[in-house]
Homo-oligomer: A and B are copies of this chain.
Amino acid sequence: MKVKLVLLCVLTFVFASIYNDLAVAQATDALPSWNDGKTKQSILAFVEKVTTKGSPDFVPPAERIATFDNDGTLWAEQPMYFQLFFALDRVKALAPKHPEWNGKEPFASLLKGEVKSALAGGDKAILEIVMATHAGMTTEEFQQTVKDWLASAKHPKSGRLYTEMVYQPMIELLAYLRSQGFKTFIVSGGGVEFMRPWTERVYGIPPEQVVGSSIKTKFELRNGKPAIVRLPEINFIDDKAGKPVGINQYIGRRPIAAFGNSDGDLQMLQWTTAGAGARFALIVHHTDAEREWAYDRKSLVGRLDKALEEAKAKGWTVVDMKNDWKTVFTFEKK
Residue contact A217 to B248, C-beta cutoff 8 Å: yes
- From B209, B226, B235, A270 is in contact (CB under 8 Å) with B226
A250 lies within 8 A of chain B by Cβ: yes
Residue contact B253 to A208, C-beta cutoff 8 Å: yes
A249 lies within 8 A of chain B by Cβ: yes
Residue contact B244 to A228, C-beta cutoff 8 Å: yes
Residue contact B225 to A274, C-beta cutoff 8 Å: yes
A200 to B63, CA, bound (A): 11
Residue contact A267 to B62, C-beta cutoff 8 Å: no
Residue contact A245 to B219, C-beta cutoff 8 Å: yes
Say whether, besides A267-B219, A271-B219, A248 and B208 are in contact (CB < 8 Å): no
Say whether, besides A4-B1, A219-B241, A274-B226, A214 and B267 are in contact (CB < 8 Å): no
Residue contact B207 to A252, C-beta cutoff 8 Å: yes
A183 lies within 8 A of chain B by Cβ: yes
Please give, as numbers and ranges, the residues of chain B lying within 8 Å of A4 by CB-CB distance.
1, 4
Closest CB pairs A-B (n = 5): A207-B252, A219-B241, A219-B244, A196-B252, A226-B274
The contact size tier of chain A is 35 or more
A265 lies within 8 A of chain B by Cβ: no
Residue contact B1 to A200, C-beta cutoff 8 Å: no
Give the Cβ gap from A174 to chain B, nearest Cβ, in Å.
Answer: 16
A210 lies within 8 A of chain B by Cβ: yes
Q: Hey, what's the 0/1 contact readout for A177-197 against B, CB within 8 Å counting as 1?
A: 000000101000000110010
Residue contact B208 to A250, C-beta cutoff 8 Å: yes
A97 lies within 8 A of chain B by Cβ: no
A32 lies within 8 A of chain B by Cβ: no
Q: Hey, what's the 0/1 contact readout for A245-265 against B, CB within 8 Å counting as 1?
A: 100111111000000000000
Say whether, besides A4-B4, A271-B219, A274-B225, A210 and B241 are in contact (CB < 8 Å): no
A243 to B218, CA, bound (A): 10
Q: Which positions 215-247 of chain A face chain B at CB distance < 8 Å? A: 217-221, 225-226, 228, 235, 241-245
A139 lies within 8 A of chain B by Cβ: yes
Residue contact B208 to A252, C-beta cutoff 8 Å: yes
Say whether, besides A62-B200, A206-B62, A226-B274, A252 and B192 are in contact (CB < 8 Å): yes
Residue contact B245 to A218, C-beta cutoff 8 Å: yes
Residue contact B226 to A244, C-beta cutoff 8 Å: yes
Q: Which positions 267-300 of chain A face chain B at CB distance < 8 Å? A: 267, 270-271, 274
Please give, as numbers and ranges, the residues of chain B lying within 8 Å of A207 by CB-CB distance.
251-253
Residue contact B249 to A206, C-beta cutoff 8 Å: no
Give the Cβ gap from A212 to chain B, nearest Cβ, in Å.
Answer: 10
Give the Cβ gap from A324 to chain B, nearest Cβ, in Å.
Answer: 28
Please give, as numbers and ranges, the residues of chain B lying within 8 Å of A208 by CB-CB distance.
65, 183, 185, 208-209, 250-253
Please give, as numbers and ranges, the residues of chain B lying within 8 Å of A228 by CB-CB distance.
244-245, 248, 271
Q: Which positions 1-16 of chain A face chain B at CB distance < 8 Å? A: 1, 4
